[in-house]
Amino acid sequence: MKTIGVLGGMTWASSLAWYRTANESVRERRGGFHSAPILLDSLDFAEIEALQAAGDWDAAGELLAARAAALEAAGAGVIVLCTNTMHVVADRIEEAISVPFVHIADVAAEAVTAAGLTTVGLLGTAFTMERPFYRDRLAQHGLRTLVPDEADRATVHAVIYDELAQGVLDDGSRRRFREIMERLVEQGAEGIVLGCTEIELLVTAEDSPVPVFPTTALHVEAALDVAVGHAP
């Protein structure tokens, strides 16, 4: 099994969930005392958040590309980025490495397609919902993506940064997310892509009237498949 190089810390709470899920999955797959061979580079999210706020995606891409290359040099045979938002610079990372990169939006799209759906609602940070990089990637798989209206986007973004990124899980925010998902369904969404790793800490399938696609869990399984040679 190849070592998985993980770009994490964006935020550490979601990276912790990724790490835990990966190890639990390997134990289930292989039994005994097996765990996931992982090299984790946990970045200081304050540095990344400042670049996001400044819109300096070039600097962010340069930073993450360099860290990905360092993981490969350290022995990683596959690279993952444990954040949906920063896949806005995924192309920079892919250019910097020679080992496989597992793109989280591709993984989500494959799951949606396998479920027989063609239209999904997307929840994530404002960057993920409003910039085209994620929706365009889903469109490459033939999917139509709906995003919440401006007010609902602001609510989702605020909950992610002001609560979930700080480790706060609030029942009131969970109710607001349920309402937002219901409105997306009314607009035609057949499923909901949880396009932010932190959202899975708050929202589960039970909170949605349609299937949800938890990108963290899906990303982990896809990365493990690549690591063991079961996926391209």
At 94 the pLDDT is 97
User: 55-95: per-residue pLDDT in tens?
Assistant: 999 999 999 999 999 999 999 999 999 999 999 999 999 99
Cβ-Cβ contacts under 8 Å for 50 (sequence gap 6 or more): none
Whether 155 is a known active-site residue: answer no
User: 125-171: per-residue pLDDT in tens?
Assistant: 999 999 999 999 999 999 999 999 999 999 999 999 999 988 899 99
Residue at token pair 């990905």: 68
What is the set of domains in the chain, with CATH numbers? 4-103+217-227 (3.40.50.1860), 105-214 (3.40.50.1860)
Chain-centroid distance of CA 52 in Å reads 16
Q: Whole-model pTM?
A: 0.91
User: 208-217: per-residue pLDDT in tens?
Assistant: 999 999 999 9
Weakest-pLDDT range from 12-16, 57-61, 143-147, 187-191? 12-16
Catalytic residue among 3, 85, 128, 196: 196
Cβ-Cβ contacts under 8 Å for 11 (sequence gap 6 or more): 45, 83, 164, 165, 198
At 38 the pLDDT is 98
Within a 10 A sphere around the Cβ of 13, how many other Cβ atoms? 16
At 114 the pLDDT is 97
Q: Is the pLDDT of residue 13 over 60?
A: yes
H/E element, 8: strand 4-8
Catalytic residue among 3, 11, 21, 83: 83
Residue 207 burial class via C-beta count within 10 angstroms: exposed 0-12, middle 13-18, buried 19 and up: middle
At 167 the pLDDT is 86
Check residue 107 and report its DSSP letter. H
Confidence of residue 232 (pLDDT cuts 50, 70, 90): low
User: 92-130: per-residue pLDDT in tens?
Assistant: 999 999 999 999 999 999 999 999 999 999 999 999 999
Whether 196 is a known active-site residue: answer yes
